[in-house]
Amino acid sequence: MHLKSLELSGFKSFAKKANLTFTSSITGIVGPNGSGKSNVAEAFRFVLGEQSIKSLRGKRGEDMIWNGGGADAGRAGRASVKLVFDNTRKLFPGIDFDEVSIERVVNRDNSNEYLLNGTAVRLRDVVELLSAAHIGATGHHIISQGEADRILSASIRERREIIEDALGLKVYQWKKLESLRKLERTEENMKQVESLRREIAPHIRFLKKQVEKIEKAQEMRRDLVDIYRGYFAAESAYISAEKERLHREIAAPRKELGELDHELERAKSVLTAAKGKDHKSGLVVDLEGRLSAVRIEKDAVTLDIGRLEGEANANRRAIDKEKDKQKRDEFKTVYLKDLEEVVSSIESFHSLDDAKKLFHEIVSALKAFISKHRGTNDSAFIGEAEKEIESLNNQKAAKEAKQKSLSEAEAKLVKEYEELKAAIDKEKDTNRDAEKDVFRIIARQNEVRSIVTNLNNSIAALAHEEDAMKRELGEAANIAGREAVDYAAHGAVHRDRQAQEAQRHQIEKLKIRIEDAGAGGGTEVMKEYRETEERDAFLARELEDLARAKDELHKLIAGLDARIDYEFKSGIVKINQQFGEFFSLMFGGGKAELFVVREPKRRKKSDTEDLAEALSGADGEAPAEDDEDGPEGIEVNVSLPRKKVKSLMMLSGGERALTSIALLFAISQVNPPPFVILDETDAALDEANSKKYGDMIENLSKNSQLILITHNRETMSRAGVIYGVTMGSDGASKLLSIAFEDAVKVAK
């Protein structure tokens, strides 16, 4: 036997602790009407998790608690019912204890507690445990007074639920409900993940475009590094070679000038000695001195003019670059997050009441935003550079005026020199040899000095080019990085100046394109793009996982549906066989059977709502909106012997009672529950049918323990132990027990 005992304390009319021990396969509970014996059946419903207080003949949980009676019987603070099972044959799989106790407690505040072997658990844990043992709070194995024909009067859907419960399908229903709820949560999670992906998709597209620009700028920067290295290698090689050439070429003229200076000094000393003797010799010496001084000063002025021109040109190039940057700033791209920042700052001005002040604050914020994103361009630099150019031009103009004055003075002296030379050449006096040497030396000095001046100008120009290269090296390091100026690895590159100039133009174009690409803040954008893309990839993987989980849940639900359908329809076949036999036994013939029908159309509900209502026992149906065929249910067909009765509605009260008993017993035989409680289900039976009822009870007790609440003597005679329930003057129920064999001996 599986059922060991039932303990009641403070439950309904059982004010004090009462204990029923089930040592017989059939236990009878008897007593006069109103004694509280039916409260025993309700105690079973209560402890097994019945949630409908109405079915326990109450309005709220507090109605289950002893409410007092008489002066000495105060009301109880709580009600508890404990049911103890023998688990040595593993009635409850998965529990290793040989004895399992299930207890339910209700308090005055309507709170409920469930205990499994003394440990607090959830109602769901209790229901799942009982379902595994084919036990439920309601259904085929607890038939209360007045509900014997409930299975006949129930709707086709309720009838199916009773039979599913009897067939042990409740556990699959719970699993299906749990799977449906998981499916709903999974679908909701999928919607949330999809929503998040849609939300970040525009930002990813924006960041991707920025990254593409940055990558393009980085590629151009790598190209620029390669071009820079080649350019600097060629420029360095050119400057080194030119320096070597110019210094080599200028060495001989400089040496010759030194030698000519010595020769001139010797010739001048001869003329100086003859100066007092010859007026023309004095003129030659004086003329040479003045001409030499003018030419030295003119050379210095010419060098100054070249320097001023170089400085002015450098300033012009700097101005042109700055203006190009400012033009490009008009079409500069800014990041969305930067624009969002300025919008947020403007939105923070809502506390300003003065509209004029608010307008000025907004204008200031926008100006600050524009100024921030114009880069490092400085209009003041252009003004200063233009002033510097103007100053250099003024200095150059003064130098050019002085150069013109010196040129005129030189021309005048040269003319005097030519006239004096011509006059001396006419004289054939040998004393004029020294004068001729002076003229020869001066003429050669002019030629060599011109060569040296040109070479010095070339050296100065080369120095400007070297300075320009140094500036370009600094700019290259800023734009393309330090590797751009590491040109030594290229070795010496020789290229003509036209090709080198073309290379420089290519560098300028690349620099402009890099700046236009807006590669500033590239590291932060790349990082944000990677993080956003990784988040999107994570969400995509999560979506895939959810989709797989959804598919698995669909498969699981389909499998459970198939299992439930197969077990249900197989059970119907077995029940019909037993039902026909019991019915024929009850009525001496005839025919009875169950068949599956589909419920009439009703409002469409979700699978979860449908199943949750079925498992909770909720009553009522929704209005017929969005109609669809309802779920399958069970209809009952009967055919009485010698009567044309096909419908249950045409059966008399006694016939309905016999039919319901036959059906309930047939269900119990197919999948026997551990115990069956029958609460006065034999009340409507006559003596002959009571005998048949008693025989069926004894047959049923071979597979299930029976607890019979009865007034029927025939039924009592089949019980091994009888409990008597009495009620005292205080309204509290009390128990008396006697073994049937002992009762027979006492009677004798």
Highest mean pLDDT pick, 229-233, 351-355, 559-563, 583-587: 559-563
For residues 712-739, average pLDDT: 88
Give residue 280's pLDDT: 65
Nearest 5°: phi and psi at 382?
-60, -45
- Phi-psi label, residue 590: left if phi above 0, alpha if psi -120 to 50, beta otherwise: left
Cα–Cα dist 226/215, whole Å: 17
Give residue 593's pLDDT: 92
Give residue 689's pLDDT: 82
pLDDT digits (tens, 9 = 90+) for 547-556: 999 999 999 9
Please report which confidence band the pLDDT of residue 622 belongs to, taking 50, 70 and 90 as the band edges.
very low
Query: In the predicted model, is pLDDT for residue 620 greater than 50?
Result: no
For residues 243-251, average pLDDT: 90
Give residue 626's pLDDT: 46
Give residue 561's pLDDT: 92
Please report which confidence band the pLDDT of residue 602 belongs to, taking 50, 70 and 90 as the band edges.
low
Angstrom distances, CA of residue 422 to CA of 54, 283, 415, 419: 149, 13, 11, 5
Residue type, 312: A
Higher pLDDT residue, 103 or 693? 103
Higher pLDDT residue, 65 or 489? 65
Secondary structure element (H or E) that encloses residue 578, with its range: helix 522-587
Higher pLDDT residue, 342 or 328? 342
Query: In the predicted model, is pLDDT for residue 263 greater than 90?
Result: no
Query: In the predicted model, is pLDDT for residue 744 greater than 80?
Result: no
Task: Tell me the sheet residues that pair with 82.
Answer: 7, 103
pLDDT digits (tens, 9 = 90+) for 383-394: 787 888 888 888
Query: In the predicted model, is pLDDT for residue 161 greater than 90?
Result: no
Give residue 627's pLDDT: 46
pLDDT digits (tens, 9 = 90+) for 399-413: 888 888 888 888 888
pLDDT digits (tens, 9 = 90+) for 435-447: 677 778 878 888 8
Give residue 624's pLDDT: 45
Write down the pTM of the prediction: 0.55
Query: In the predicted model, is pLDDT for residue 748 greater than 60?
Result: no
Cα–Cα dist 710/677, whole Å: 11
Q: Do residues 23 and 35 make contact, with C-beta atoms less than 8 angstroms apart?
A: no
Q: Do residues 115 and 105 make contact, with C-beta atoms less than 8 angstroms apart?
A: yes
Query: In the predicted model, is pLDDT for residue 621 greater than 60?
Result: no
Give residue 83's pLDDT: 95
Cα–Cα dist 526/538, whole Å: 18
Give residue 430's pLDDT: 45
Query: In the predicted model, is pLDDT for residue 424 greater than 60?
Result: yes
Give residue 101's pLDDT: 96
Give residue 743's pLDDT: 56
pLDDT digits (tens, 9 = 90+) for 299-313: 888 878 877 877 787
Task: Classify strands 675-679 and 705-709 as parallel, antiparallel or unpaired.
Answer: parallel
pLDDT digits (tens, 9 = 90+) for 656-670: 878 888 888 888 888
Give residue 379's pLDDT: 62
For residues 255-275, average pLDDT: 78
Going along the chain from its start, the domains and CATH numbers come out as 1-141+707-748 (3.40.50.300)
Residue type, 46: F
Q: C-alpha angle 136/52/82, rounded to 5°?
A: 55
User: Percent of the chain scored above 90 by pLDDT?
Assistant: 21
Task: Tell me the sheet residues that pair with 677.
Answer: 142, 707
Cα–Cα dist 656/28, whole Å: 24
Please report which confidence band the pLDDT of residue 183 belongs to, taking 50, 70 and 90 as the band edges.
very high
For residues 241-261, average pLDDT: 88
pLDDT digits (tens, 9 = 90+) for 191-215: 999 999 999 999 999 888 888 888 8
Q: Do residues 11 and 81 make contact, with C-beta atoms less than 8 angstroms apart?
A: yes
Which of 209-223, 601-615, 701-715 comes out lowest in average pLDDT? Answer: 601-615
Query: In the predicted model, is pLDDT for residue 457 greater than 80?
Result: yes
Please report which confidence band the pLDDT of residue 535 belongs to, taking 50, 70 and 90 as the band edges.
very high
Q: Do residues 106 and 79 make contact, with C-beta atoms less than 8 angstroms apart?
A: yes
Please report which confidence band the pLDDT of residue 736 belongs to, taking 50, 70 and 90 as the band edges.
confident
Higher pLDDT residue, 70 or 9? 9
Residue type, 321: K
* Residue whose structure tokens are 């103007």: 390
* Average pLDDT for the chain: 82
Give residue 192's pLDDT: 94
